[in-house]
C-alpha cells in the first residue's frame, strides 16, 4: 500500500535558450511509452486513492445527488430538417445518447411534444452511441450528419481520447454500414448531392491542414485533395452555407483568417475562389444571402474595427465595394451572424452579456431580443433550414436550467419548447445571482458573477465558503450557465463565483488583448484581485475559498498558487497548462506553432521567453511557500495539454515543501476527461468531494 507521496527521481536535463539555462530534472516523465513513467503515474493514482479514501461515502452521496436530479430518460426538442424531425434521447442506465428521427408532415413546423420514456410513432434510430461504445473504455462521437436527401448517415468515432476520428457511413434505407471508412479525420460532412464526403485530415501536430473529397464506394487512396494549408500557424475548416449555394473553406490562426468559396452550382472540385487575402491580425467570417435577387456575402471582420463590424459585398466580387451594415461600436463586440432567406441573426456582447438581434435586410436595423434576468446566456442554435417560420434559441442562467425557445417570426412571441427538468423539487426562486466588481492593481474593474442559495443569507452577511472559478484565455467567455452538479455545493451553503479576468472575452476584444502575449500577467493578478475583493467585502475568508480552473485556466491556477498561495484553502486544476514555456518552445509538440499567436514565440523571441519564464507555474514554484491543498486532474491521452505538465508540476511542488498535493490521471481519456455521463458525474463527484473536504463543508 502506498503511504507516502510518489517521489520521482531527479535526472539531469538542461534546457538552453537565449543564453538561459534551466535545469529540468523531471522532464524524463515525458516518455509516455516508458514502463517506468506509467508505473509512476499509477503510483500517483494509488496515492490519491489512499489519501481520498475517507471521502468515498461523500463521493457516493454527491454522485447520487447529481443522478437523482437528472431525468435520465429524456429527449431533446426535435429540430426540423427537410421532411424529418431530428432529436436525441437518453435512457436510464445508459452512458450515451441515442440519435433519432421521425417523419414530419408537410406544413407542420411546431415540434412534436414527445414524452420521455414513451414510444415515438415512426421513430427511426439513426445512431445508438451505447452500441458504438460497447467494448471500449472511452468513446467520443465526432461528426454526425445526414445527407440532404435524408438517405445516408455519417458519423465519426474516437476510442482513445486523442481526437483523431474515423468516419463511418450507413445507408438509412437498408441499415447497411457501407465500406467507406476514413481514419485520421477532424470534421466531415456530406456533399449536397449526397454522393461524397468532404473531410479534413490532421498533420503530425494534430492540426487540420487538408480538405479532401471522398466519393462513396471508392477507395480512400483515390480521394481528391481540394485544399491544403501549409502554414503551421493555421487551422483549416470547411462547411456549406445554409443557402446550400457555397462551400466555404476557412483557414485561421488565433489572430488572422482567410476564406475561400466554391460555387456549388458548378463543380465541387473547382478552384476555390479567395474572398479576402489574409492580412496579419485581420479576422473575418462570411455568410451568404440573396437580397433583392442578388447574391451577397456578409463579412464580419475586425479590420480597423477592434470589436468588429459587419459589411456586405457582392458575392461575384467580394473584394469590391463594401457596404457597412453594422458599424463598429467600441464596447459592443460582434460575435457572429447567421443568414436566412428573409433576415439574419446577429450575436454580440455588451456589458459582459450575450445579446441576440434580428437584422432586417431592407433597413439594416437590428431588433434586439429582450430577456428579463440580470445575468444570462442566450444564443441562436439548431436552425438548419434556409426558410422557416420559427427561430430556435437557447437560453440559460446561473439559476435557470437550459431552455429552448422558438421565436415566432410573425408575432415575435417567444415560445417555450423545453426547460431542462431538475428533479427533487428544484425551485429557482430559492437561489439568486448577482455581479460584483473587483479593482485590479492597475485600476481596471473586473466583473465577478456569483450564485448562491437564499436561505443561507446574502453574500457579505457573514463569511461563507466560496468556490471561485476562472479561465481567461483565447477570448473565451465564462458566461452564466446552469449546473445540476453545482446544486450540491449551493445547497450546502457554498457561494459559486466566476472571476471574469482579462484574457477572456467577456468585456470585448480589448479585454482579451489585455490578457494575452506580453499582457498575460493581468489574467493572474485579476484573479487574485477578485479573491481579495471577496475577502475584503466579507463574502469569504482565505481559509474558506477554493479556486478552480482547467486547461488554460489550469495555467491560471498554477500562476495564482505561486502569486498568492495563502489566499486559498485549495486549488483544483484540471488538465492544467502548468509547464507552458517548455511546451511552447517545442514546435514538434501538438498545436505548439498555432499557440504562438496566443502566448508569443519564445523560441525566436528572447523577450517572450523571459516573460513566459517569469510566470510559468512549474518554473516559479517557491520553496517554502505556504501552498494550499492542490488537486491536479489530467488524462494520459490528452493531446492539448500533455499529462507530463501536471506530473512535473506536482513533483516540483512536493520538492518545494507543499504538504498536500495530489494528482489523478485518467489512463484512457483525453482533454475533456472521461466519457459517458455516469462516468462524468462520478468524476465531478470526486472533485466536489475533495473541494467540500478542503472547505470543511460536510
What residue spans define the domains of the chain? 23-67+429-695, 73-130, 136-282
pLDDT, tens digit (0-9, with 9 covering 90-100), for 560-597:
999 999 999 999 999 999 999 999 999 988 879 999 99
Share of residues in the chain with pLDDT > 70 (%): 100
Does the pLDDT at position 698 exceed 90? no
Cell 511546451: give the residue: 583
Q: Cell for 412?
A: 415575435
How many CB atoms are located within 10 Å of the residue 530 CB?
26
Q: Domain 136-282 in CATH: superfamily?
A: Prolyl oligopeptidase, N-terminal domain (2.130.10.120)
pLDDT of 3 reads: 62
Closest to 569 measured CA to CA, from 487, 678, 692, 480: 692
Q: Which residues touch 118 (CB under 8 Å, ≥6 apart)?
A: none
User: What are φ and ψ of residue 368, in 5° steps?
Assistant: -85, 135
How far does CA 620 lie from the centroid of its chain?
28
- Under 8 Å between Cβ of 129 and 136: no
Q: Cell for 500?
A: 471574469
The C-alpha angle with vertex 290 and arms to 288 and 293, in degrees rounded to 5, equals: 155
Please confirm, yes or no, whether 34 is among the known catalytic residues.
no
> Rounded to an integer, what distance in angstroms lies between the CA atom of residue 617 and that of residue 643?
15
**Could you please report the per-residue DSSP string of 529-582?**
HHHHHHHHTTS--GGGEEEEEETHHHHHHHHHHHH-GGG-SEEEEES----HHH
Closest to 3 measured CA to CA, from 44, 50, 49: 50
pLDDT of 590 reads: 81
pLDDT of 678 reads: 95
> Rounded to an integer, what distance in angstroms lies between the CA atom of residue 223 and that of residue 214?
5
Cell 456578409: give the residue: 298
Tell me if residue 63 falls in helix, strand or coil. helix
Closest to 485 measured CA to CA, from 65, 75, 57: 65
Quick one: how many helices (H) and strands (E) in the chain? 12, 38
> Rounded to an integer, what distance in angstroms lies between the CA atom of residue 76 and that of residue 394?
12
Q: Cell for 690?
A: 475533495
Tell me if residue 332 falls in helix, strand or coil. strand
pLDDT of 205 reads: 87
Query: What's the length of the chain?
Result: 698
User: What are φ and ψ of residue 489, in 5° steps?
Assistant: -80, -50
Closest to 358 measured CA to CA, from 374, 350, 346, 372: 346
pLDDT, tens digit (0-9, with 9 covering 90-100), for 327-347:
999 999 999 999 999 999 999
pLDDT, tens digit (0-9, with 9 covering 90-100), for 491-541:
999 999 999 999 999 999 999 999 999 999 999 999 999 999 999 999 999
Does the pLDDT at position 1 exceed 50? no
Strands 257-263 and 273-274: antiparallel
> Rounded to an integer, what distance in angstroms lies between the CA atom of residue 503 and that of residue 582?
21
Strands 20-23 and 14-17: antiparallel
Cell 498561495: give the residue: 565
User: What are φ and ψ of residue 54, in 5° steps?
Assistant: -65, -15
pLDDT, tens digit (0-9, with 9 covering 90-100), for 439-498:
999 999 999 999 999 999 999 999 999 999 999 999 999 999 999 999 999 999 999 999
> Rounded to an integer, what distance in angstroms lies between the CA atom of residue 496 and that of residue 241?
40
Please confirm, yes or no, whether 551 is among the known catalytic residues.
yes
Q: Which residue out of 158, 214, 638, 675 is catalytically annotated?
A: 638
Q: Which residues of 290-322 are buried (b: 16+ CB within 10 A; e: fewer)?
A: beeeeebbbbbbbbebebbbbbbbebeebeeee
- Under 8 Å between Cβ of 436 and 452: no
Cell 471561485: give the residue: 468
Q: 595 to each of 474, 590, 598, 599, how far by Cα in Å?
A: 10, 10, 5, 6
Closest to 101 measured CA to CA, from 129, 124, 73: 124
**Mean pLDDT, the chain, as a whole number?**
96
Q: What is the DSSP letter of 369?
A: P
Q: Cell for 307?
A: 470589436
Q: What is the DSSP letter of 251?
A: E
Q: What is the DSSP letter of 675?
A: -
> Rounded to an integer, what distance in angstroms lies between the CA atom of residue 242 and that of residue 76?
22
Q: Which residues touch 56 (CB under 8 Å, ≥6 apart)?
A: none
> Domain 23-67+429-695 is in which class?
alpha beta
Strands (DSSP E) found in 409-527: 414-419, 431-439, 445-453, 466-470, 495-499
Which of 179-188, 620-629, 664-673 is predicted least confidently? 664-673
pLDDT, tens digit (0-9, with 9 covering 90-100), for 213-257:
999 999 999 999 999 999 999 999 999 999 999 999 999 999 999
What integer is the mean pLDDT of 23-32?
Answer: 97
Question: CA-CA-CA-CA torsion for 480, 481, 487, 492, nearest 10 degrees?
Answer: -10
> Rounded to an integer, what distance in angstroms lies between the CA atom of residue 14 and that of residue 21?
6
Does the pLDDT at position 364 exceed 50? yes
Tell me if residue 402 falls in helix, strand or coil. coil
Tell me if residue 320 falls in helix, strand or coil. coil
Tell me if residue 363 falls in helix, strand or coil. coil
Percent helix, strand and coil across the chain, each rounded to 5? 20, 35, 45
Q: Which residue out of 551, 574, 616, 675 is catalytically annotated?
A: 551
Cell 468556490: give the residue: 467
Alpha helices per DSSP H over 407-551: 487-490, 509-513, 521-536
pLDDT of 106 reads: 82
- Under 8 Å between Cβ of 498 and 505: no
Q: Which residue out of 40, 168, 288, 671 is catalytically annotated?
A: 671
Label residue 280 exposed, middle or buried (CB < 10 Å: 0-12, 13-18, 19+): exposed
pLDDT of 2 reads: 46
Strands (DSSP E) found in 420-461: 431-439, 445-453
Does the pLDDT at position 166 exceed 70? yes
Q: Cell for 363?
A: 433597413
Please confirm, yes or no, whether 20 is among the known catalytic residues.
no
Tell me if residue 628 falls in helix, strand or coil. coil
Q: Which residues touch 174 (CB under 8 Å, ≥6 apart)?
A: none
How far does CA 201 lie from the centroid of its chain?
21
Q: What is the DSSP letter of 590?
A: T
Cell 480512400: give the residue: 220
Closest to 656 measured CA to CA, from 623, 690, 616: 623
What integer is the mean pLDDT of 307-311?
Answer: 98
Amino acid at each position: 500500500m502506498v503511504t507516502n507521496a510518489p517521489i520521482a527521481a531527479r535526472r539531469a536535463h538542461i534546457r538552453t535558450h537565449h543564453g538561459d539555462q534551466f535545469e529540468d530534472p523531471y522532464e524524463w516523465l515525458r516518455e509516455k511509452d516508458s514502463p517506468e513513467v506509467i508505473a509512476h503515474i499509477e503510483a500517483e493514482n494509488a496515492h490519491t486513492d489512499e489519501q481520498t479514501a475517507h471521502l468515498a461515502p461523500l463521493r457516493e452521496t454527491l454522485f447520487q445527488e447529481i443522478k437523482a436530479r437528472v431525468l435520465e430518460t429524456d429527449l431533446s426538442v426535435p429540430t426540423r430538417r427537410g421532411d424529418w424531425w431530428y432529436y436525441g434521447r437518453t435512457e436510464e442506465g445508459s452512458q450515451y445518447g441515442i440519435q433519432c428521427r421521425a417523419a414530419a408532415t408537410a406544413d407542420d413546423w411546431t415540434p412534436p411534444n414527445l414524452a420521455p420514456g414513451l414510444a415515438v410513432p415512426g421513430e427511426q434510430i439513426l445512431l445508438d452511441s451505447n452500441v458504438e461504445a460497447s467494448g471500449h473504455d472511452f468513446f467520443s462521437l465526432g461528426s454526425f450528419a445526414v445527407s440532404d436527401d435524408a438517405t445516408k448517415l455519417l458519423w465519426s468515432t474516437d476510442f482513445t481520447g486523442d481526437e483523431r476520428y474515423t468516419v463511418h457511413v450507413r445507408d438509412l434505407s437498408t441499415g447497411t454500414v457501407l465500406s467507406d471508412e476514413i481514419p485520421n479525420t477532424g470534421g466531415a460532412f456530406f456533399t449536397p448531392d449526397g454522393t461524397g464526403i468532404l473531410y479534413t485530415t490532421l498533420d503530425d501536430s494534430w492540426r487540420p491542414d487538408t480538405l479532401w473529397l471522398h466519393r462513396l464506394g471508392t477507395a480512400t487512396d483515390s480521394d481528391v485533395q481540394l485544399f491544403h494549408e501549409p502554414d503551421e500557424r493555421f487551422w483549416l475548416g470547411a462547411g456549406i452555407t445554409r443557402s446550400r449555394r457555397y462551400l466555404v473553406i476557412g483557414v485561421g490562426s488565433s489572430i488572422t483568417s482567410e476564406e475561400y468559396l466554391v460555387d456549388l452550382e458548378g463543380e465541387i472540385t473547382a478552384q476555390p475562389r479567395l474572398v479576402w487575402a489574409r492580412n496579419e491580425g485581420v479576422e473575418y467570417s462570411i455568410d451568404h444571402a440573396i437580397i433583392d435577387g442578388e447574391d451577397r456575402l456578409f463579412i464580419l471582420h475586425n479590420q480597423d474595427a477592434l470589436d468588429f463590424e459587419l459589411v456586405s459585398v457582392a458575392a461575384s466580387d467580394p473584394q469590391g465595394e463594401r457596404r457597412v451594415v453594422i458599424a463598429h461600436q467600441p464596447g459592443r463586440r460582434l460575435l457572429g451572424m447567421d443568414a436566412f432567406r428573409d433576415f439574419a441573426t446577429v450575436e454580440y456582447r455588451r456589458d459582459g452579456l450575450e445579446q441576440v438581434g434580428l437584422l432586417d435586410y431592407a433597413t439594416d436595423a437590428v431588433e434586439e431580443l429582450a430577456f428579463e434576468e440580470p445575468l444570462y446566456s442566450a444564443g441562436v442554435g439548431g436552425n438548419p433550414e434556409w426558410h422557416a417560420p420559427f427561430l430556435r434559441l437557447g437560453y440559460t442562467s446561473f439559476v435557470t436550467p437550459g431552455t429552448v425557445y422558438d421565436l415566432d417570426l410573425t408575432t415575435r412571441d417567444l415560445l417555450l419548447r423545453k426547460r431542462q427538468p431538475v428533479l427533487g423539487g428544484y425551485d429557482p426562486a430559492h437561489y439568486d445571482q448577482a455581479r460584483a466588481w473587483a479593482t485590479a492593481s492597475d485600476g481596471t474593474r473586473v466583473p465577478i458573477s456569483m450564485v448562491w442559495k437564499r436561505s443561507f443569507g446574502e453574500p457579505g452577511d457573514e463569511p461563507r465558503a466560496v468556490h471561485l472559478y476562472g479561465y481567461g484565455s483565447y477570448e473565451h467567455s465564462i458566461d452564466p450557465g446552469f449546473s445540476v452538479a453545482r446544486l450540491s455545493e449551493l445547497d450546502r451553503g457554498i457561494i459559486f463565483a466566476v472571476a471574469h479576468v482579462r484574457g477572456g472575452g467577456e468585456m470585448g476584444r480589448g479585454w482579451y488583448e489585455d490578457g494575452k502575449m506580453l499582457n498575460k500577467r493581468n489574467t493572474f493578478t485579476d484573479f487574485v484581485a477578485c479573491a481579495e475583493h471577496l475577502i475584503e467585502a466579507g463574502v469569504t475568508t482565505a481559509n474558506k475559498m477554493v479556486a478552480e480552473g482547467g486547461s488554460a485556466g489550469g495555467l491560471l491556477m498554477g500562476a495564482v498558487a505561486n502569486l498568492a498561495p495563502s489566499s486559498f484553502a485549495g486549488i483544483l486544476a484540471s488538465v492544467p497548462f502548468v509547464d507552458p514555456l517548455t511546451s511552447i518552445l517545442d514546435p514538434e509538440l501538438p498545436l505548439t506553432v498555432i499557440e504562438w499567436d496566443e502566448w508569443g514565440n519564445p523560441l525566436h523571441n528572447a523577450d517572450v521567453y523571459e516573460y513566459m519564464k517569469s510566470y510559468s507555474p512549474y518554473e516559479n514554484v517557491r520553496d517554502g511557500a505556504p501552498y494550499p491543498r492542490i488537486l491536479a486532474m489530467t488524462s494520459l491521452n490528452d493531446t492539448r495539454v500533455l499529462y507530463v505538465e501536471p506530473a512535473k508540476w506536482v513533483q516540483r511542488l512536493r520538492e518545494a515543501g507543499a504538504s498536500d498535493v495530489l494528482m489523478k490521471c485518467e489512463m484512457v481519456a483525453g482533454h475533456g476527461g472521461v466519457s459517458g455521463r455516469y462516468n462524468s458525474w462520478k468524476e465531478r463527484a470526486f472533485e466536489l468531494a475533495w473541494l467540500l473536504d478542503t472547505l470543511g463543508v460536510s
